[in-house]
Structure 1
Amino acid sequence: MSLIERASDKLKKNETNHPVLSKPPLKVRTDSDLSILPNNMSSPKVEQREEVNSNPILGLANRKNFGKRTTKKIEIDLENLRRKGIVTFDHSKSEVAEQFRLIKRPLLANAFNPDSGIKNGNLIMVTSSLSGEGKSFCSINLAMSIAMEMDHRVLLVDADVARPSIPASLGYSPEEPGLLDLLRDPQWKMSDVMMKTNVAKLTLIPAGKRHAHATELLASQSMHTILAELAHRYHDRVVIFDSPPLLLTSEARVLAGQMGQIVLVVEAERTTQQTVKEALRQIETCDVINLIYNKARVHGSGGYGYYGYGYY
């Protein structure tokens, strides 16, 4: 017998003694099966988790939900705010509280009077010509004052995306997700960036992570959609945007074109008339512009006040 014939005969004998079997179906262990496993055997849970993550559809879902969270709540140090001259519920009879009562009343009338003819009147932007004039201080005071209303709630949006100052005042991290994250990623929802506070009717939206194209994001269709939702989703809500200074950034001018009302803060004895005129030219497309003459010295008290409020 030749060498090839002997090899062929050997292969036939192996197939007879060891037939090829089909692969048995995968058996799924039940709880009763697991109860009889020896102590030194590992549980199959890790393997099951790896199989789930390897699924391309489930893996995509996991990536979409990564980093998302429910609405967060922060505790504002109200006593610290009071020491800084900001309106609080426990000191609602202070001079500053009375001044902001006068400031908010026409704003609320414009926002909720159906005969006012103001589109999106509940969207209010607080800005200034230059930095340091007190716009964020006025934004927080206005928000706190409106939160005392019986019939309205307030959402304070930190739109000063380049140099946010509200986090330091209200005590939350400037790294919190916020407005720019909502604009940049369509998978974010409004509830993902909202933060409730220990002031019952006050909610916050931080500025979010800085972005090189913040101006384009604020001018985008996504921003228009967000503003429409903010303006109409809750009939009793006032939305206050703490904006960048008008003459230092382009973001403020873009935002101003989408607001129902604008409050321009002017620092007494510092901001020149020419500077104010230039700032007003930047926002002349808005129908309702209000001015707060801030840091005006109160005669006989040595303190400062918020006088000269009115329409432009």
Structure 2
Amino acid sequence: MSSIHDALDKAIQNAELEKENTSLKNVYHDQVISAHGTQHSVDPALLRQRRIVSLNNHDVESEAFRMLRTKILKQLRDNNWNSFAVTAPTQGAGKTTVAVNLAIAMAMDVNQSVLLVDLDLKYPKVHWYFGLENENGLRDYFLSGKPLSDIFVSPGIDRLTILPGRGQAVGSSEILSGPRMKTLVNEINSRNQSRIVIFDLPPVLATDDVLATMDYYDAILLVVEEGKSQPDEVKKTLKLLSGKNLLGTVLNKSQNPPEYLGY
């Protein structure tokens, strides 16, 4: 008898999940942003599967990103900043997951538009989270002279635009130190000066890409992984980033989330 009840409970849960996904698709799946570049219809179920929770305001986990969004937006506005980078001491801390969730959360604010730029030229992953199969990426902009208009992607979420990566780029720090990087930032800013620009960068201790780009954004958000990021790694990272505005540190993959979430 208990197995029957378990099966019924599972069926009800699956039905509720399907209803939630269908509702989200009705709201977001067919939205199109009026921006140059490729149009893409986001799949809410795929995002959730890949730990992108900010799209659903009813998800308890998304509350953490909405709170983070509000705190960061206040700092940006108080200091008249419009750009920041997301990075981590080492690989695997979940910096891109945080960057994507935060970009979506900020775009959910009706007063704010957001551009998410994948500057992790060695291991770009922003496109993967959105299920993009883009033909062009920032590597093509830097190495082949592709115009940004061919690289911009509108993922079907109002007020959010993406500059995705594609494939690995050899000599990434040299590329980011070159004149095309300055041209990229100037063009981004000239298109929309009021937009928040989020740069997803490689880990600080894995490459010198972060140091090569520090002049091109106003502040940095550091992501550390609970139980993995070592204190000496964090200290070394903060020392390398000294002199740059630090928005704060995000403790990712925490096993003990705050009890007040889900109010």
Q: For 1:66-81, what aligned pairs fall within 5 Å after superposition?
A: 71-81=37-47
TM-score computed with the length of structure 1 as normaliser: 0.66
2:182 is matched with which residue: 219, 224, 229? 224
- 1:287 Cα shift? 2.2
Q: For the residues of structure 2 that align with 1:206 and 1:257, how far apart are their CA atoms?
A: 21
Q: Deviations over 1:5-64 (max 9, x none)?
A: xxxxxxxxxxxxxxxxxxxxxxxxxxxxxxxxxxxxxxxxxxxxxxxxxxxxxxxxxxxx
Answering whether residue 129 of structure 2 is matched by residue 164 of structure 1, we say: no
- Aligned-partner Cα distance in 2 for 1:168–1:98: 23
- Partner amino acid, structure 2, of 1:97: S
Which of 100, 103, 106 is the aligned partner of 1:140?
100
Deviations 1:55-79 (A, max 9, x none): xxxxxxxxxxxxxxx6111222112
Out of 294, 300, 303, the residue aligned to residue 252 of structure 2 is 294
Asked if the contact 2:122/2:170 (under 8 Å) is kept, the reply is no
The residue type equivalent to 2:57 in the other structure is S
Structure 1 residue 209, shift from structure 2 partner: 4.7
Cα contact 1:180–1:207 (8 A) shared by 2: yes
Q: Percent of counterpart pairs with the same letter?
A: 28
Corresponding position: 1:215 with 2:195: no
Q: Where in structure 1 do 4 or more consecutive aligned residues deviate above 4 Å?
A: none
Distance in 1 between the 2:213 and 2:113 partners?
22
Asked if the contact 1:195/1:205 (under 8 Å) is kept, the reply is: yes
Structure 1 pair 207–142 and aligned structure 2 pair: CA distance change class (3 A): same
Structure 1 counterpart of 2:70, one-letter code = R
- For the residue of structure 2 that corresponds to 1:297, the secondary structure is coil
Which amino acid in the other structure matches residue 210 of structure 2? A
Greater Rg over alpha carbons, structure: 1
Q: TM-score, normalised by structure 2?
A: 0.77
CA contact (8 A) 2:123 2:168 kept: no
In 2, Cα distance between the equivalents of 1:189 and 1:299? 43
Distance 1:236 1:285 in 2: 25
Q: Secondary structure at the match of 1:266?
A: strand
1:164-216 deviation line (CA, Å, top 9, x unaligned)? 2222221113x632222222344x32212101111121111112453323211
Q: How does 1:1-312 map to 2 (within 5 A)?
A: 71-89=37-55, 91-113=56-78, 116=79, 121-173=81-133, 176-186=135-145, 188-298=146-256
Q: Residue deviations 1:227-280, cap 9 Å, x none?
A: 133235313311111111111112122123422111110111211111001111
Partner amino acid for 2:156? Answer: N
* 2: CA distance, partners of 1:96 / 1:275: 27
Amino acid at match of 2:217: M
Distance 1:87 1:232 in 2: 31
User: C-alpha separation between the residues in 1 aligned to 2:226 and 2:180?
Assistant: 37
In 2, the alpha carbon distance for the partners of 1:158 and 1:108 equals 20
Are residues 261 and 191 of structure 1, via their aligned partners in 2, closer, same or farther at CA, if it must alter by over 3 Å? same
CA distance in 1, matches of 2:120, 2:95: 10
Contact 2:123 2:167 in 1 (8 A): no
Q: Which amino acid aligns with 1:157?
A: V
2:139, 2:167 within 8 Å by CA — same for their partners in 1? yes
Unpaired stretches in structure 1, ≥5 consecutive residues: 1-69, 306-312
Cα distance in 2 for partners of 1:150, 1:245 equals: 31
Q: Which has the higher contact order (CA 8 A, sep 6+)?
A: 2
Amino acid aligned to 1:110: Q
CA distance in 2, matches of 1:190, 1:261: 24
